[in-house]
Amino acid sequence: MIRTFLMFLIAGLTISSCSRPSANDSAGGEMDSFISDLMDEMTIEEKIGQLNLITPGGGIPTGEAVSTNVEASIKEGKVGGIFGVTSPEKVRKAQTLAVEGSRLKIPLLFGSDVIHGYKTTFPIPLGLSFSWDMNLIEKTARVAAVEATADGLNWTFSPMVDVSRDPRWGRVAETAGEDPFLGSEIAKAMIQGYQMDDLTANTTMLATVKHFALYGAPEAGRDYNTVDMSRLRMFNEYFPPFKAAVHAGVGSVMSSFNDVDGIPATGNKWLLTEVLRNKWGFDGFVVSDYTSVNEMIAHGMGDLQAVSALALKAGLDMDMVGEGFLTTLRKSLDEGIVTDEDIDNACRRILEAKYKLGLFDNSFLYVNEALPAREILTEATRAVSRDAAARSMVLLKNNDQILPLKSEGTVALVGPLANDKNNMLGTWAVSGDPQTSVPVLEGMRNVAGNSVNIRYAKGANISDDAEFAEKVNVFGPRIVIDDRDPADLLSEAVKVAAGADVIVAVVGEASEMSGESASRSEISLPESQKLLVKELDATGKPLVLVIMSGRPLTIDEELALADAIIFTGHPGVEAGNAIADVVFGNYNPSGKLTMTFPRNVGQIPVYYSHRATGRPNPGDEFQKFRSNYLDVENSPLFPFGYGLSYTEFEYSEITLDKSSMTSEDSLTASITVTNTGDYAGEEVVQLYIHDQVRSITPPVKELKGFKKIMLESGESKTVEFVITEKELSFYNYDIDFVSEPGGFEVFIGTNSDELQTASFELIE
């Protein structure tokens, strides 16, 4: 693509015009020389300015500081990017300040937390991961990119691919769950949706993989807490989605708040340079998290000048909000603590991102006042959200096929989340407007029409605890404590339930009960809702629970009481319609859990791919001197990969096309799945592998493949998985990615616990 660089004609600088090849061609010599020419013109202050990311506070300030003097700073060339500014009008204004008001007229990056949709909010990322549907996930990122770019943005702080096995940590809501293989697939799908193959298109945006690294493993599940982990575990279990993102061409990486092996990630050279750049070949830029450079002072790494220099030298390129780079790097340069080369490297990477986005060709590429009305929150984008939400729901229980409900009779729709707009979008929906969401009551009426009599009662507050509610309500009223006495709410609901044929109770967490800085030490339903479920059960009416939450919950009591349970995450803007689609059978649920549900908090961390101990306990019966508990089983409440359907699937035995393979060839495992029930439905066929003997203790099984298939009632399909050396390889003690000859088990089935087995040998 040949384009002309006009801006510098106006600037009257030595660079007058140049034409360049595709801006996605990062190795392009023309990009290099263009940036070299530009950097020749830059003062050291202007270079440091490019490393500065500010926010005037239009989004959600997730730290203590917000930027001030924004206009003057932009004009002085002290800003490389800005976030929290949206709409073409505002972006145009800020970009004009940069390209008309600053000496070198370098355009700004415009970032935002576009996490699960922009204004069309999709299910929370954990919910989307339950779909195991990569085309769908890519589509949601695509819709988000089209909307966000229509609103002037060119950079998203997504995907978040932190592996986490600790549901006390509130940010599991933003993750793809506990598994590195699935997380890697989701990372690739989302990056493709945001960036596509041409970053210069005005509907694509730069993606950011975050938070590098280990943020999902804080001690005690408390946000921002210390992490201590072996390198074996990092490479085998926590790094893979980041590596996959780098190989998928992600444009930027965000460093995490926590420390990694004793050094905060934001100042960790081993992490940001040795692993990320030297080992994996990352060639984009690294941005800090919100004031995470400054926070290294509290970590105990020195004063602002020291931690800023540490971060730069470690390989951090852009400082989010804290202005440590802006205010101290010049001094550190003068004192010889950092070099010109350190600053140049970081500056070059930021300029490259701008180049790749096409901003030097047209700084207003993403600014078109006509687009928001046309592209944002349309009927078509809502339809994608409704479909995504239905596909993300997990049927956990369905006794006597009580679901789907027939479109007749009286339904008691109760619960604090049954007629609620405030909590449908879920956490980190900074651009979404809760008031645009469809509550469950409205959705049920839309879908069931007049043939069903739906009677509503709130039944309980999300929580009766005003102090707790205040902590949750920082971004608006998420827990609204009713003026009525809790006992009155309860008796009204019981009355409504007693007069109905079936009860549908919508219970769970308010959206901000999970997410950033929302760790919980108990992850059950709040007491008010536990009581509601008990009282509803006592009516003797069939009880369907719809559970919304940003994390796995300990729901063993509710599991025993309910006849059916649908786990929905927080479903997004079309919540009510999508839930009704599933409840009334317009969509047959196909979601599968991507995080293990513990029986109680004491089991945490509990995850399917654990390593075997020397004293394993194969069953759930207590055995003295075996690895188990006196007071709870080892098995979880629901395993990874679990999820029912309205139909039934039967699996044949596994067929292997050979009994051994070498590292040069491959082996095919196949299995036939038959829909033996009455409904058409989708099934996620899961492949796990276990290395029987190897030089470091192997996990009992690891996900290595999956396929989502559609089967009509009575239909069979044979699913094939090709196994190559890659699926059998791991990082060994020396952190080399190797396979070791010997026996392997293959498991294929409907979840990580119900599997067919076969075995084969890897031979030299």
Q: Which of the residues are catalytic?
A: 289
210 versus 592: smaller Cβ distance to ligand NOJ: 210
227 versus 403: smaller Cβ distance to ligand NOJ: 227
Minimum Å gap between C-beta 58 and ligand NOJ is 11
Write the DSSP string, 78-100.
--SEEES--SHHHHHHHHHHHHH
Write the DSSP string, 721-757.
EEE-GGGG-EE-TTS-EE---EEEEEEEESSSSSEEE
210 versus 391: smaller Cβ distance to ligand NOJ: 210
Q: Determine, following the binding rule CB under 6 A, whether residue 116 of this chain makes contact with ligand NOJ.
A: no
95 versus 288: smaller Cβ distance to ligand NOJ: 288
Minimum Å gap between C-beta 311 and ligand NOJ is 16
541 versus 570: smaller Cβ distance to ligand NOJ: 570
Cα-based distances in Å from 9 to 6, 42, 60, 93, 189? 5, 17, 38, 21, 40
Q: Determine, following the binding rule CB under 6 A, whether residue 289 of this chain makes contact with ligand NOJ.
A: yes
Category of 339 on φ-ψ map: left (φ > 0), alpha (ψ -120 to 50) or beta:
beta
Of 341-400, which residues contact ligand NOJ (CB under 6 A)? none
Minimum Å gap between C-beta 430 and ligand NOJ is 8
Other C-beta atoms lying within 10 Å of the C-beta of residue 635? 15
Site string for ligand NOJ, 496-525 (x = CB under 6 A): --------------------x---------
Minimum Å gap between C-beta 281 and ligand NOJ is 24
**Closest by CA position to 528, among listed 460, 576, 448, 445:** 460
170 versus 542: smaller Cβ distance to ligand NOJ: 170
- Does residue 53 contact residue 67 with C-beta atoms inside 8 Å? no
b/e 201-222 (16+ beta carbons within 10 angstroms → b): bbbbbbbbbbbbbbbbbbeebb
Query: Residue 38 is inside which H or E element, if any?
Result: helix 29-41
CA distance 372 to 625: 64
Minimum Å gap between C-beta 69 and ligand NOJ is 20
Write the DSSP string, 114-179.
--SBSSSB-S-HHHHHTT--HHHHHHHHHHHHHHHHHTT--EE---B------TTSGGGGGS--S-
Of 202-261, which residues contact ligand NOJ (CB under 6 A)? 210
Q: Determine, following the binding rule CB under 6 A, whether residue 290 of this chain makes contact with ligand NOJ.
A: yes
- Contact pick of 52, 95, 113, 119 for ligand NOJ (by CB under 6 A): 113
Residue listed under structure tokens 């709040």: 526
The number of residues that bind ligand NOJ (CB under 6 A) is 8
Minimum Å gap between C-beta 207 and ligand NOJ is 12
- Identify the bridge partners of residue 156 per DSSP, sorted by sequence position: 112
Minimum Å gap between C-beta 518 and ligand NOJ is 12
Minimum Å gap between C-beta 168 and ligand NOJ is 17
Of 15-74, which residues contact ligand NOJ (CB under 6 A)? 59, 62
55 versus 628: smaller Cβ distance to ligand NOJ: 55
Minimum Å gap between C-beta 160 and ligand NOJ is 6
157 versus 242: smaller Cβ distance to ligand NOJ: 157
- Does residue 26 contact residue 19 with C-beta atoms inside 8 Å? no
Other C-beta atoms lying within 10 Å of the C-beta of residue 429? 28
- The pair of three-digit structure tokens given for residue 15, joined into one six-digit string: 């660079």
190 versus 337: smaller Cβ distance to ligand NOJ: 190
Torsion over CA: 355, 359, 361, 365 (sign): positive
Torsion of CA 37, 21, 200, 286, to 10 degrees: -50
CA distance 315 to 319: 11
- Contact pick of 118, 122, 130, 157 for ligand NOJ (by CB under 6 A): 157
Q: Which residues contribute to the site for ligand NOJ (CB under 6 A)?
A: 59, 62, 113, 157, 210, 289-290, 516
